[in-house]
Amino acid sequence: MTETIRIRRFVARPVIVPMNLPLQTSTGAVARAPLVLIDCETDQGVRGHAYLFSITPAALKPLTAMVGEMAEMIAGDELLPFEIERKLTQRFTLLGLAGLQRLAQSGIDMAAWDALARAKGLPLARLLGGAPKPVRAYNSKGLGIMPAGAVVDEAQKLLAEGFHAAKIRVGRPEARDDLNFVRAVRKAVGDQVTLMCDYNQALTVAEAIRRGEMLDDEGLLWIEEPIRHDNYAGCARVADALRTPVQIGENFDSAFAMQSALSAEACDFVMPDVQRIGGVTGWLRAASLAQAAGIEMSTHLFSEVSAQLLCVTPTAHWLEYVDWADAVLATRLIIKDGFALPGEEPGNGIAWDEVAVRKYLAA
């Protein structure tokens, strides 16, 4: 017998939470995380959860409002993520399926899938036809644009949390300073630790090739977003010139954008962001594209839901671990011996600490 589950409503709450370890990137500092917490309430009493990261506090209220407006369009509908995607995509095509619209729709999708998983009593990975299993993870919380003298302390702190891999932010004004920093980190952690670096789109094509060649012998797993993210022809030139693999993807707005990047041979690896690629639904489509292209696929932020999704990603590579939502979460993703261990409890791994949520409410 099939049982129809209907959406009663979605509730979106803005919070600004303190981060355990502030991060300095080439585009600026991040010390507090502005998040939109989304609950999908169903007529069966089951609730799904998801959160969005609005990047800047300035976007927090507009994003919360966008989720609310969008949610009203699907109140009373059956809880079917593919049908929700079809309806919302049609309603917003003329506005453009990007920016806040993209984030809001992805958040609704993630909360809807979570409600479905909880209604079936399954972890998300099992609902999607797989099973939770250990996934390789790197600690992405530190090694920002910081003084080289503080490297040893910071690197030890990051690895002590159970990781054998970490990401270094680069993009200082002088290329030589980046190189020295990478070498200082390597010296601090030893040869057995996996390191990758991230420019956060700081460079021009020529400069990316020059700096990439300087880093080519440093044993980095990848060089991330060296240039503007949507300059796929430029990315392809950089990827072609360097021996170190080039990683992009956190700014793919949907699987269509990823397909354009793959067609342009813009990169060696991809790392879509679940709140831009289109939530769980968009992730599944992107995962098929990566499989077809024979390209390793990693995750971006959103460690809890992303860990479940990597379990059903054919070319699963690395989980990017951050704990930015921890202040409002009732459970934590477990990290052990270099792996994240997504759990067997129903849903996507997200549950609220309601006392903390009230404390950090930004409304």
> Do the Cβ atoms of 42 and 119 come closer than 8 Å?
yes
Q: How far is 70 from 103, CA to CA, in rounded Å?
A: 11
Only segment of 145-153, 183-191, 192-200, 322-330 that touches Mg ion (CB under 5 A) = 192-200
Least distance between Mg ion and beta carbon 270 (Å) = 12
Select the span of 54-62, 178-186, 218-226, 326-334 touching Mg ion (CB under 5 A). Answer: 218-226
Nearer to Mg ion, 51 or 269 (CB): 269
For the bound state, the minimum distance from the C-beta of residue 112 to Mg ion, rounded and expressed in Å, comes to 27
Per DSSP bridges, beta strands 165-169 and 194-198 are: parallel
Q: Which residue is nearest to Mg ion (CB)?
A: 198
Among left, alpha and beta (phi > 0; psi -120 to 50; other), residue 278 is left
- Nearer to Mg ion by Cβ, of 178 and 198: the residue is 198
* 242: its two tokens: 């360097």
Q: Which CB sits closer to Mg ion, 101 or 200?
A: 200
Options 59-67, 136-144, 195-203, 226-234: segment touching Mg ion (CB under 5 A)? 195-203
DSSP state of 148: G
How many Å apart are CA 67 and CA 53, to the nearest integer? 13
- Choose, by CB under 5 A, the member of 114, 198, 268, 296 that binds Mg ion: 198
Question: Containing H/E element for 25?
Answer: strand 7-25
Distance in Å, CB of 247 to Mg ion, minimum:
8
Work out how close the CB of 255 gets to Mg ion at its nearest, in angstroms, rounded to a whole number. 19
CB 301, min distance to Mg ion, A: 9
Compute the distance between CA of residue 40 and CA of residue 190 in angstroms, rounded to an integer. Answer: 46
Task: Write 226-229 long-range contacts (CB < 8 A, 24+).
Answer: 226/199, 226/201, 226/202, 227/199, 227/201, 227/203, 228/201, 229/201
Q: Which residues does 10 contact at the CB level (< 8 Å), separation at least 6? A: 38, 39, 40, 41, 67, 68, 71, 74, 75, 108, 111
Q: Calculate the dihedral angle through the C-alpha atoms of 185, 186, 188, 192, rounding to the nearest 10 degrees.
A: 130
How many residues of this chain interact with Mg ion, rule: CB under 5 A?
2
Nearer to Mg ion, 109 or 224 (CB): 224
CB of 226 to Mg ion, least distance (A): 11
Query: In the bound complex, what is the minimum distance in angstroms from residue 351's beta carbon to Mg ion?
Result: 27
27 or 260: CB nearest Mg ion: 27
Which residue lies nearer to Mg ion by CB, 85 or 225? 225
* Binders of Mg ion in range 224-283 (CB under 5 A): 224
Shortest reach from residue 258's CB to Mg ion, in Å:
15
Q: Taking CB under 5 A as the criterion, which residues in 139-178 touch Mg ion?
A: none
- Residue 34 bridge partners (DSSP): 16
**Tokens at residue 298, please?**
């990693």
The CB-of-189 to Mg ion minimum distance in angstroms stands at 20
**Token pair recorded at residue 303:** 């460690």
Q: Which part of the chain contacts Mg ion (CB under 5 A), choosing from 36-44, 46-54, 58-66, 221-229?
A: 221-229
Cα dihedral: 298, 89, 112, 19 (round 10): 50
Q: Which of residues 299-318 bind Mg ion (CB under 5 A)?
A: none
Per rule CB under 5 A, is residue 41 in the interface with Mg ion? no
Q: What DSSP assignment string belongs to 41-76?
A: EETTS-EEEEEEE-SSGGGHHHHHHHHHHHHHTTTT
* Minimum CB distance to Mg ion smaller for 85 or for 224: 224
Q: In the complex, which residues of this chain contact Mg ion (CB under 5 A)? A: 198, 224
